[in-house]
Amino acid sequence: MTTKWEELLLHNDHALVSSFYEKAIELDPNLEINYFYLSLALLLQKKEEESKNVWDLVLERSSFTDLYIKELAEILEQEASRQAGFKEYQTAWNMRQYIRQILPNKFDNLAKICILSLYVENFNLELLIELGFVKITEPNDDDLLSFLVIYVGSYIAREALLLERCLELISFCLPYFQNKDTLIQSLICVASKYPSDISLKIIDAFLNLYPNNRCDTLPFLVALHLRNREYDKAVQIASEIVLEFSQNIFQKTASTYGLLYVLMERGGDWQELEINFRELRLLQSQIIAQYIEFPPNYDISFISVTPFFAPYFDDIPQTNRVIQNQTLHLFCSNLQSSFSDLIQSFQSKHIARRKNSKNRKIRIGYLATSLRRHSVGWLARSLFQHFDRESFEIYGYFPEYTQGADFLEEWYISRMNFVFRQGVEYFSSSSVLLAEQINRDEIDILVDMESLTSTVCLGVLATKPAPIQVSWLGWDASGLPTIDYYIADPYVLPENAQEYYSEKIWRLPHTYIATDGFECSTITLRRCDLGIPDDAIIYFCSQRSYKRHPDIVKAQMQIIRQVPNSYFLIKGLADENYMQKFFYEIAESEGLEKERLIFLPYASFESEHRANMAIVDVVLDTYPYNGATTTMETLWMGIPMVTQVGEQFAARNSYTMMMNVGVTEGIAWNVDEYIEWGVRFGTDESLRRDVAWKLRQSRQTSPLWDGRQFAKEMENAYKQMWEIYNEQS
């Protein structure tokens, strides 16, 4: 309902508004709210002195109940925001001073006073002192000052205000930080909220002012260039980091891993990738051999992710997992020595709680950064859709959360009993804060959905905040010694896998993942758009650059060459020029015309990508790292697929999925069989038709498409884990 105040403002005649409330005061001088509205009306006319006099009357006459303060603050907030929208910054600034008088500690208002001060040009040290952000006589509260920089910078980014305003604030605040690392992290957080081109300007401007901070800032600059898909610039800076900041084995390992990461994102040059990977592997081995613990106060988070790329190069889990287990053991033992008191308190609480938690619902906590528009987010939905609310309470812990940034993330949040969200402003303390919250929530089973993809999550898990910790779905098992179980199935790991896994392998009866299906939109891609004849055979592979090992690409080229009138559609994130050069060189070496290779742009929406798969006849999987979500999508769309099965988890994803839909056609155990199946599918129409029919029928019968049954099997596993734990004493 429109109030009288809002009704009068519609006329945009502030003198009329003043007149109305002056008459209202004459009629009833004891109605205090009318003085408030009169003060606002005078302020809107820029009669600041008169407005201040009336406002003083409001303060003098009013008996400020909580409800009354809330009402006044809401009206002032609305008007201050409206005036800022009209670029009436001085008026908005004055209104926020009124809010400050009745709510002196309201951070949002204090920060917006700083923002407006940048526009009315009265931002100075005295203001920061007056508002409580800086204390000259005491050690500064870096967290508060950091949060101010983040808040103001984020607001400026959100409102598309001038970049110079943000730099002005950062430059001004710099001298008042006791810890320059905190400022750098604040700066990075602010820059991350801008579009990439503006973020790059912020970082460049900062480096010009403070070149001594290159070591801490350049990695973020690399990430920004990757986000902007400026791969060559990212490689150049990552190479500079290797040359400039590799004074010891730890720095060299971190910088070598960073360069390898950038090269993998760019894709194409596997000879260079192999050199960097072998160098990284050598450094890992040296650290494991030389160090039982790291030097004091050294940032060890980087080492936890360094084994990440091994499965993309080699299918030798007996070797790779030993190195991975040793690396994660070193990471864990060092982190635990730094937080021994905290970890001891967690263990004591686990023991004390065991007696009192047997008769309540089991509390399952999911630790994830990827429950969003991400492969994990698309695959995990059925579990959260069908979970048993009578037996379980579901908690979500989301580091790197950004409100409203992702509809699928919001969907997951809506399915949980409780969610704890952390933004990037928590920096290095985020693992401890998350772990403390998980322990405080008395989580019984904590499910790790990230493995080696998140240093924050690894830091949480290393402290063991929950009595049972389980890894599922996000990647292969991490090798962290504080993980109790790794959820698999009869196929995705070989029978002897327990020999080289530190976690206890818990095999579900059918499949380690299931979904009720995938959404598809309308088709936007047809053969005629690509210049492909109607009677041609279309092969397809949609994987990011990481998975395109040259050996499997050679096999794919041989298949296309042997099948007349066939084409190969290639899609995936990478540097387009490097990727095309990579494929063309291999095609030429295998005697295949490059005109039969067609590169597709990355689809904006997953549903569009799935719909456009309708033009595909056969999908060719990658090896030694298979598809996962892409395999599920292929099978759901009823398209025959060729996959090579290996020993490691990453080389058996497609195998377990195909076994669970009852299709063995296309499963190869070596590269020769891979080529043979690829050629057979291309030359035998009846084989393609039979497999497509099986896949369509599997929608009614396969465990892979029965999300409800899968949820029950996961929950049965949780219950059994909880029973085993409680039987121990």
What are the residue boundaries of the structural domains of the chain, listed by start?
A: 229-338, 341-507, 527-705
Q: What whole-number distance in Å separates Cα of residue 430 and Cα of residue 432?
A: 6
Q: What is the pLDDT of residues 295-307, one digit of tens each?
A: 665 667 788 999 9
- Structure-derived torsion over alpha carbons of residues 76, 77, 80, 85, reported in degrees to the nearest 10: -150
66-75, 359-368, 510-519, 579-588: range with lowest mean pLDDT: 66-75
State the pLDDT at residue 424.
46
Closest CA to 438 of 462, 406, 455: 462
* Backbone torsions φ then ψ of 537, nearest 5 degrees: -100, 125
Please name the amino acid found at residue 719. K
Q: What whole-number distance in Å separates Cα of residue 226 and Cα of residue 453?
A: 17
| Helix pair angle (107-120, 89-102), 10° resolution | 150
Other beta carbons less than 10 A from residue 141's beta carbon? 15
Q: What is the pLDDT of residues 649-669, one digit of tens each?
A: 999 999 999 999 999 999 999
CB 255, CB 245: distance < 8 Å:
yes
602: pLDDT strictly greater than 80:
no
Evaluated on CA atoms 507, 510, 511, 516, the torsion sign reads negative
Going across the sheet that includes 618-620, the strands are 597-599, 566-571, 537-542, 618-620, 641-644, 667-668
Q: What is the pLDDT of residues 437-457, one digit of tens each?
A: 999 999 999 999 999 999 989
130-144, 194-208, 587-601, 656-670: range with lowest mean pLDDT: 130-144
23: pLDDT strictly greater than 60:
yes
498: pLDDT strictly greater than 90:
yes
140: pLDDT strictly greater than 50:
no
Rounded to an integer, the average pLDDT of 670-685 is 98
Q: What is the pLDDT of residues 408-438, one digit of tens each?
A: 988 999 999 999 887 544 444 478 889 999 9
Q: % helix / strand / coil in the chain, to the nearest 5?
A: 60, 10, 30
Choosing among 3.30.830.10, 1.10.645.10, 3.40.50.10860, 3.40.50.2000, the CATH entry for 527-705 is: 3.40.50.2000
CB 491, CB 655: distance < 8 Å:
yes
The string over 633-659, giving b where at least 16 C-beta atoms fall within 10 Å of a residue's C-beta and e elsewhere, is bbbbbbbbbbbbbbbbbbbbbbbbbbb
State the pLDDT at residue 52.
85
158: pLDDT strictly greater than 60:
no
Q: What whole-number distance in Å separates Cα of residue 97 and Cα of residue 101?
A: 6
- 206 burial level (CB within 10 Å; 0-12, 13-18, 19+): buried
Closest CA to 168 of 123, 213, 126, 222: 123
State the pLDDT at residue 2.
46
Q: What is the pTM of this model?
A: 0.80
Q: What whole-number distance in Å separates Cα of residue 220 and Cα of residue 240?
A: 13
State the pLDDT at residue 214.
77
- Structure-derived torsion over alpha carbons of residues 689, 691, 696, 700, reported in degrees to the nearest 10: 140
Q: What whole-number distance in Å separates Cα of residue 184 and Cα of residue 666?
A: 52
199: CB partners within 8 A, 6+ apart: 191, 192, 224
State the pLDDT at residue 425.
42
CB 91, CB 83: distance < 8 Å:
yes
> β-strands 418-421, 445-448: how paired?
unpaired
State the pLDDT at residue 310.
97
Closest CA to 629 of 422, 283, 381, 414: 381
State the pLDDT at residue 561.
98
Q: What whole-number distance in Å separates Cα of residue 665 and Cα of residue 642?
A: 8
Higher pLDDT pick, 350 / 300: 350
Rounded to an integer, the average pLDDT of 589-617 is 92
259: pLDDT strictly greater than 50:
yes
Kindly calculate the radius of gyration of the chain based on its CA atoms and give it in whole angstroms. Answer: 30
CB 471, CB 390: distance < 8 Å:
no
Please name the amino acid found at residue 63. S
* Terminal CA-CA length for the chain: 63
* Backbone torsions φ then ψ of 198, nearest 5 degrees: -75, -40
Higher pLDDT pick, 248 / 561: 561
The token pair at 349 is 């609480």
* Omega before 494 within 30 of 0, i.e. cis: no
Q: What whole-number distance in Å separates Cα of residue 347 and Cα of residue 39?
A: 59
State the pLDDT at residue 632.
97
CA atoms lying within 13 Å on the CB side of residue 125: 6
Q: What whole-number distance in Å separates Cα of residue 495 and Cα of residue 19?
A: 86
Q: What is the pLDDT of residues 195-238, one digit of tens each?
A: 666 677 767 766 776 677 777 778 888 888 888 888 999 999 99
State the pLDDT at residue 138.
46
CA atoms lying within 13 Å on the CB side of residue 199: 23
The token pair at 167 is 């730099």
Q: What whole-number distance in Å separates Cα of residue 16 and Cα of residue 22?
A: 10
349: pLDDT strictly greater than 70:
yes
Q: What is the pLDDT of residues 551-585, one digit of tens each?
A: 999 999 999 999 999 999 999 878 888 999 999 99
In the structure, what pLDDT confidence band is assigned to residue 1 with cuts at 50, 70 and 90? very low
The token pair at 279 is 């160098």
State the pLDDT at residue 483.
98
- Structure-derived torsion over alpha carbons of residues 613, 614, 619, 625, reported in degrees to the nearest 10: 30
Residue 366's DSSP bridge partners are 396, 447
Q: What is the pLDDT of residues 313-348, one digit of tens each?
A: 999 999 999 999 999 999 999 888 888 999 999 999
CATH topology identical between 341-507 and 527-705 = yes
The token pair at 546 is 């990481």
Closest CA to 314 of 263, 273, 269, 257: 273
**What SS3 state is found at 295?**
coil
131-140, 285-294, 538-547, 591-600: range with lowest mean pLDDT: 131-140
In the structure, what pLDDT confidence band is assigned to residue 168 with cuts at 50, 70 and 90? low
Q: What whole-number distance in Å separates Cα of residue 308 and Cα of residue 491?
A: 22
Q: What whole-number distance in Å separates Cα of residue 721 and Cα of residue 729?
A: 15
> β-strands 566-571, 537-542: how paired?
parallel
State the pLDDT at residue 406.
83
Cα-based distances in Å from 377 to 360, 368, 381, 473, 572: 29, 10, 7, 10, 19
State the pLDDT at residue 136.
45
Q: What whole-number distance in Å separates Cα of residue 406 and Cα of residue 426?
A: 20
State the pLDDT at residue 117.
82
Closest CA to 462 of 367, 369, 331: 331
132: pLDDT strictly greater than 80:
no
The token pair at 525 is 């891609």
Rounded to an integer, the average pLDDT of 39-54 is 84
Phi-psi map region of 638: left, alpha, beta (phi>0 left; psi -120 to 50 alpha): left
Rounded to an integer, the average pLDDT of 256-270 is 93
Q: What is the pLDDT of residues 505-552, one digit of tens each?
A: 999 999 999 999 999 998 999 999 999 999 999 999 999 899 999 999
Mean pLDDT over each residue of the chain, to the nearest integer = 86
143: pLDDT strictly greater than 60:
no
80-94, 415-429, 635-649: range with lowest mean pLDDT: 415-429
The CATH class of 341-507 is alpha beta
Residue 620's DSSP bridge partners are 642
Q: What whole-number distance in Å separates Cα of residue 447 and Cα of residue 512?
A: 14
State the pLDDT at residue 157.
52
